[in-house]
Amino acid sequence: MNCNVCNCIIQPDKYKMKCPGCIPRGRGCVHRKGLCEALRKGTIRFCHECDDFPYDNLTLLENRYNKSYKYSFIKNLEYIKEHGMDAFLEAEKIRFTCSQCGKRVSVHEKKCHFCGKKY
């Protein structure tokens, strides 16, 4: 998950959750509810580095986000694996910038929080 496109970051006034993201919380990539030993111990940083990728919990989250937000954790991780984090963040910046006002659009909303343009 790119935290930059989360409602908690874009609308901190609306969402009281003060979430700094999985990695700053020491949980690694997608933290798998603390069940992934490799992420917990820091043996791997991202789920795609594991032989079990994509594991069951990620697939459940993947299906929910695919359906609700047209967002794919698996595709994101495959993109990071192939092109690196900087390229991923640049692609996300382009994808989630409002074409009308230039501000960041949330993955969780169907319209821009700032100008109301629908997506």
* Residue nearer to Zn ion on the CB measure, 10 or 112: 112
- Phi and psi at 19, nearest 5°, equal -95, 115
Residues 73-102: x where in contact with Zn ion by CB under 5 A, - otherwise, as a string: -------------------------x-xx-
* Residue nearer to Zn ion on the CB measure, 37 or 119: 119
Instruction: Please state the closest distance from residue 106 (CB atom) to Zn ion, in A.
Output: 11
Q: Answer whether the bond into residue 54 is a cis peptide, omega within 30°.
A: yes
7 within 8 A of 105, measured Cβ to Cβ: no
- Of the candidates 107, 111, 47, 105, the one whose C-alpha atom is nearest the C-alpha of residue 71 is 107
Q: Please name the residue that has the structure tokens 């937000």.
A: 69
Does residue 113 belong to the site contacting Zn ion (CB under 5 A)?
no
Binding region for Zn ion (CB under 5 A)? 98, 100-101, 112, 114-115, 117
